Structure 1
């Protein structure tokens, strides 16, 4: 089976609708795909309709944006959780509201130096989507200020830029606890992707494991080879399952559907552990 457990639609920062994303999964020859939009499950219903139409399995998921007490960004993939669980929903809503306020402040700062305003950014955000820096990047590209998202994030939108604004995000240990409470399966996304910025210390991994972390996303283009080796050893020592995925964003990033895959045994462990929502497996 070809299983890709990390992909985004335009409900967050992907460029395709959930339905078009499922069509792309079918075209790529995937048997199962997970929809994991940032801090949102709004794409689940249209993705399910399209999955049934195309005969592609769908694992409903979400990517939770977290931050440690030292300010290190952590992304936690949540699969098969209850989207209406009060505790998890409260934290996600708080984070989404903070993202919106943060984006508005960043655009205000950018407007001092570039021909950019909030309407320019809003034009790149699908109705109800979780707004983020990728949408600002798309507006910068449209204005001819940068060539693509990668250039925007490497320069104007980097965390070291004077335009950067922080935002609230839950602690990763709390996020793991909430995902488990919601019947979900928490997996640490691209955990050693040092090219994205600082990565957490080993003790944070163990704190997350103690809180109920069940898997590690090992096969991901942003995890360096030596980091993948370390993750495999950690998984073997702790009994975590390992996943592989594309982190596909459509035209937003060079990642291709199916470029990294998850083994069937890991999927079976995920299905056995997740109780908050139902997968679609034709």
Structure 2
């Protein structure tokens, strides 16, 4: 069984566990090398590294940028794509990275205030302390609002919260998006922090359906990967829970053609989150030779 997982979340973004809880569960699952890759943040890495040290686990410092990229197709027509860019082996003390984290926190606070006022306008009052208690890691986002709604008895589960037009599926609420980092900037910041940049879950490019591919999707994906490669992309996440054998083979071929590295990640958000994305939930056995580069990554000493 593979003992590497390079895509894990804690409650410092939208995960349900503390970094310590995540590391202990990873150890119990037999993992030896993990990357903590919270959304647009690095605050959980030091705690994870401290918890991992006595357990003999290597924690690769990472993050997952919410990004977008305006690519041009063969007819030179521009089209915006949303995506996630993973950063591995980053220097947490990088000045450029720290400045970006500060900027993201400020923008997140503005977005949360918009959400707070929008729900208040709908007649849904939320005490700010309720949001804080729903966010033990200090990361307040849409999931924090959703958790607060559950505690208020406005829904029975998170799925209901996000699918209800009375709550998160209201058009006004859905229009309050987080600002994304350009893929070019994300790759540059990761490299300036001495890390490697990977395209996360490529089959979710543009937040596509997990099961159905839009017409022409693969040709667009190949073009985006090529253009990101020109910008310095180091690799793509080929081994992923929703990738079957055929999709995995396609991505491995794409990685070879573009001379990119290959990563593996479950995108685990905790035992209370989606079962389809859990540690060891891969549908295809990974080729260890493809992951040989991981041995050269430095474990966090934060």
User: How many angstroms does 1:33 deviate by?
Assistant: 1.4
**CA–CA distance in structure 1, aligned partners of residues 91 and 107 of structure 2:** 22
> Which segment drifts farther, 149-158 or 73-82?
149-158
Q: Is the 8 A contact 1:10 1:17 kept in 2?
A: yes
Moved more, 206-215 or 250-259: 250-259
Indicate yes or no: 2:293 matched with 1:269.
yes
Note if contact 2:90-2:193 (Cα within 8 Å) is conserved in structure 1: yes
The offset of 1:93, in angstroms, is 2.3
Trace 1:10-159 onto structure 2 (pairs within 5 A).
Answer: 10-69=11-70, 72-113=81-122, 115-117=124-126, 118-127=128-137, 129-155=138-164, 156-158=167-169
The answer as to whether partners of 1:4 and 1:262 remain within 8 angstroms in 2 is no
CA 1:227–1:107: 2 relative to 1, 3 Å = farther
- Structure with more relative contact order (C-alpha pairs < 8 Å, separation 6 or more): 1
User: Are 1:163 and 2:184 counterparts?
Assistant: no
Q: Secondary structure at the match of 1:221?
A: coil
Structure 1 residue runs of 4+, over 6 Å off? 196-200
Indicate conservation of the 8 Å contact 1:121/1:139, yes or no: yes
Aligned-residue CA RMSD (Å): 2.8
Structure 1 residue 235 and structure 2 residue 255: aligned? yes
- Of the structure 1 ranges 245-254 and 22-31, higher mean CA displacement relative to structure 2 is found in 245-254
Unaligned runs of 5+ in 2: 71-78
* Structure 1 residue 216: Cα displacement: 1.0
Number of equivalent positions: 275
Alpha-carbon distance between aligned partners in 2 of 1:226 and 1:2, rounded to the nearest angstrom: 23
SS where residue 5 of structure 1 aligns?
Answer: strand
Give 5+ residue unaligned stretches, structure 1: none
Q: Which has the larger radius of gyration?
A: 2
Separation in structure 1 between the aligned mates of residue 249 and residue 155 of structure 2, nearest angstrom:
35
The alpha-carbon deviation at position 23 of structure 1 amounts to 0.5
Asked if structure 2 preserves the Cα contact closer than 8 Å seen for 1:61 and 1:79, the reply is yes
The 3-state SS of whatever aligns with 1:121 is helix
**Contact 1:218–1:232, Cα closer than 8 Å, also in 2:** yes
The answer to whether the 8 Å contact 1:195/1:222 transfers is no
Distance 1:124 1:208, change over 3 A: same
- Look up the match of 2:74: none
TM-score by length of 2: 0.80
SS of residue matched to 1:65 = strand
Taking a change above 3 Å as real, the CA distance of residues 166 and 119 of structure 1, as seen in their structure-2 partners, is same
Q: Using the TM superposition, name which of 102-111 and 21-30 deviates more.
A: 102-111
In the TM superposition, what is the alpha-carbon distance from 1:229 to its structure 2 partner? 4.2
